[in-house]
Amino acid sequence: MRNSMLRPKTVKLIGRIMKPLVEEGVILVSEEQIVSANLRNLANKGRLMPVVVPKLINQREVAEMLGLGYSNFKKLEKEKAFPFHRRMVGSSVRYRNIDIVEYIMSDNSSP
């Protein structure tokens, strides 16, 4: 292991240190999730998560990000092939783009 690598047990320790700060409201849950995801990615892959402006995207945009056809994406989503979940905004189906990026960056990103 290179000296510049972050060890997984260090990531766990930092997570335990942050937990009381989240419970007290010093650190927002969303901030803790971002920090934890970046630390895990840094420990596992040696790089931070890409900077992505959070937004909700539609099914066609998700399919495009995954390199799938729209109908194939809808079929796979119906079969629950993806770990990310839809969110309803009124009657529109939306997904968090960050969830899609995290899925693509994960080791198990093939449906």
Domain segments of the chain as ranges: 8-45, 56-105
Q: How far is CA 22 from CA 4, 36, 54, 72, in A?
A: 28, 12, 21, 40
What pLDDT digit, counting tens, does each position of 12-30 carry?
999 999 999 999 999 999 8
Provide CB contacts within 8 A for 52, sequence distance 6+.
97, 98, 101
Residue whose entry in the numeric block shows the structure tokens 């901030």? 31
What pLDDT digit, counting tens, does each position of 56-75 carry?
999 999 999 999 999 999 99
